[in-house]
Chain A
């Protein structure tokens, strides 16, 4: 991955660095929390992990030499989330990303619009996707990240961001237009 250097950790920063952090990084706290929230699917866990990630970002802050502060922060948040998932819910990470791109099932824009108008249903459909599909959709559609930013944050090559999004959107459409069979497993 290029361009983003997390730098080496340092425990204590001075007030000037603190002010710079407040100005450059703190405005992206909502984005950080939102990404953690969708990766972990639990408010409580995502608060803990976002808190940990912000402190990590602060300790790494000397290694940030300008550039895209949001992508830099989200990359740290994502790494912290995956570390947490590996430790606490390893099963969730076992889904294969390289799924075949099946021919589009016939979904009409109208039926999709109706399904999509239900916020709860849309949120639930998004939650049923494997984390690697979910994160590209959250970054692209909820945070408005560019392909370059998505590549930097998720550590997938920029050339594959487009096909990752294509697959993720297809999965979401399927989850939305199919009857919600995964209701029960969600509660785990």
Chain B
């Protein structure tokens, strides 16, 4: 085997891209060829320098915002928002419809229906009810504070878990406060965030299920929610803000 050939094969070997037989062949060659062994050592040292270098640059938040604005402009508004005169009736009717349908359609624990392991342990109806109830006067927060160090300790002793609490004012999602709520028969923590003049409820409860990515949004005219599990906690963010905004907050919490 000539060393010109191995000089190139060395890179395939380094990158784990040689098939098993060529890889074994190259390893045998390495035992005899000091030049190649040394060249491999040099390449490995270069690679670890590159990987240790933190030369990777993350997209700045300002760029992320500009892109989201572009995407918003290139996205059609949901149908419900195009017919303002019908809007309220549509919202009420659709909530009733959603509640009725999901009461039957959503698998509930213990009913014998095969439960989707990725679904949250409460129904869409319960979730939307809880969200709407919170928007009635005086129901939004039990502790109103934009300070995560006030909101987090407030939950102490009121729940048997400690929900992660973070303020995202700098990213346009100021923390408004927190409250206790009941969802699917369980006590849950709720973090309330503001987005312009809208509110986002983030329901948090402990789970033993493995982590999931942020699931595709549940969309019902007027309200949407995102559900995910991360580090032993189940999250459900609900609001009437755009999916993009909701997703941005979900990602901030997920990080």
Residues of A in contact with B (beta carbons under 8 Å apart): 11-23, 26, 29-30, 32-34, 37, 43, 47, 50-51, 54-55, 58-59, 101, 104, 107-109, 112-113, 115-117, 119, 122-123, 126, 137, 140-143, 146-147, 162-163, 165-166, 169, 172-173, 176
Q: Do residues B7 and A101 form an inter-chain contact, with CB atoms below 8 A?
A: yes
**Residue in contact with B45 in the complex, picked from A15, A101, A113, A163, CB distance below 8 Å:** A113
Q: Are A109 and B244 in contact (CB under 8 A)?
A: no
Contact of A137 among B48, B50, B213 (CB under 8 A): B50
Listed by A's residue number, 6 A-B pairs whose Cβ atoms lie within 8 Å are A22-B243, A29-B67, A107-B42, A112-B46, A165-B11, A166-B10
Residue in A47, A55, A163 whose beta carbon sits within 8 Å of that of B63 in the complex? A47
Contact A104–B45 (Cβ < 8 Å): no
Question: Are B74 and A113 interface neighbours, CB within 8 A?
Answer: no
Give a binary string over B47-58; 1 marks a CB under 8 Å from any A CB, 0 the rest.
Answer: 111111111111
Q: Which residues of B contact A (CB under 8 A)?
A: 4, 7-12, 15, 17, 35, 38-39, 41-60, 62-64, 66-67, 70-71, 74-76, 78, 213-214, 216-217, 219, 243-244, 247
> Which residue in A34, A107, A122 is a CB contact (below 8 Å) of B50?
A122
Report yes or no: A122 in contact with B49, Cβ–Cβ below 8 A: yes
Contacts of B12 in A (CB 8 A): 147, 162
| Number of interchain pairs (Cβ within 8 Å) | 151
> Is B216 a contact of A33 with CB atoms below 8 Å?
no
Residue of B nearest to A20 (CB): B216
A55 to B39, CA, bound (A): 43
Known: A18-B71, A141-B51, A162-B17. A116 touches B243 (CB 8 A): no
6 smallest A-B Cβ distances: which pairs?
A116-B49, A33-B59, A109-B45, A141-B50, A166-B11, A18-B75
Docked complex Cα distance between A16 and B243 (Å): 9
Which residues does chain A contribute within 8 Å of B75, judged by CB atoms? 12-15, 17-18
Tell me the bound Cα distance from A149 to B48 in angstroms.
Answer: 21
Query: Do A30 and B17 contact each other (CB < 8 Å), given the known contacts A19-B247, A58-B74, A112-B45?
Result: no
A14-B76 contact, Cβ under 8 Å, with A50-B59, A50-B63: yes
Q: Is the CB of A15 within 8 A of B78?
A: yes
User: In the complex, A20 Cα to B214 Cα: how many Å?
Assistant: 11
Q: How far is the CA of A147 from the CA of B13 in the complex (A)?
A: 12
Contact B46 A173 (CB under 8 A): yes
Q: How far is the CA of A87 from the CA of B115 in the complex (A)?
A: 56
